[in-house]
Amino acid sequence: MFRCGIEYSRCRWLLPILLLFAIVFDIIAIAATSGWVEDEDAKSHYASMWEQCRGQNDNWNCKPLTEYSWAQAVAALMILGLLILIVAFIISCLALCCSLNFALLPAIGGLLFIAVILQIIALVIYPTKFNELIFEGHYYYTWAYGFGWGATVLMFGCGILFCCLPRYEDEVTGLAKFKYIYSSD
């Protein structure tokens, strides 16, 4: 006989692991010193979330971006989103791995959606204000900026799953009856 659908019991282990990946992606994006943005031509200018540097080879002149209020807002929103994500990860480990507490799952989804909103705002403010600050040449957004978006997309997907998973409580706990595509009855 064939069984179709998702193996829901695996969700209780996969969702916290996906949140752990989102935490790692966020830490990489926030801590990256190689830059979120770099120029395309001479590789003479790059900027991370914290500073911008101009120069060549070993002669770099770096200035902090945190003197601008928009950069402070981006840093605060990204760090706050990371902290909310860490709290959601801890609660998800308690709710899914230690004991099955389905009442907490929508709250975890809500926390993740709040973190997603904060990080989307930060990831939109940064390129907008950076482009207003710098008027010359063309710039590329690097892998570090992409990790910020990767973490945000992971949080959004996990938020949807955390909100939908309480509907499938019997499937996750293994109490549901298997449904077959074909039966001989």
Tens of each residue's pLDDT in the chain, 185 residues: 334 455 666 667 888 899 999 999 999 999 987 778 887 765 777 788 888 888 877 788 888 888 889 989 999 999 999 999 999 999 999 888 777 777 888 999 999 999 999 999 999 998 888 888 775 677 888 888 999 999 999 999 999 988 887 776 556 655 556 666 665 65
Contact partners, residue 54, CB within 8 Å, separation at least 6: 44, 45, 60, 61
Q: What is the pLDDT of residue 124?
A: 93
Instruction: Tell me the pairing of strands 139-141 and 37-39.
Output: antiparallel
Q: What is the pLDDT of residue 99?
A: 75
Q: What is the pLDDT of residue 168?
A: 63
Q: What is the pLDDT of residue 3?
A: 47
- Which of 18, 10, 29 lies closest to 146, judged by CA? 29
Q: What is the pLDDT of residue 20?
A: 95
Domains of the chain, CATH where assigned: 8-173 (1.20.140.150)
Q: What gap in Å lies between CA 145 and CA 127, rounded to an integer? A: 10
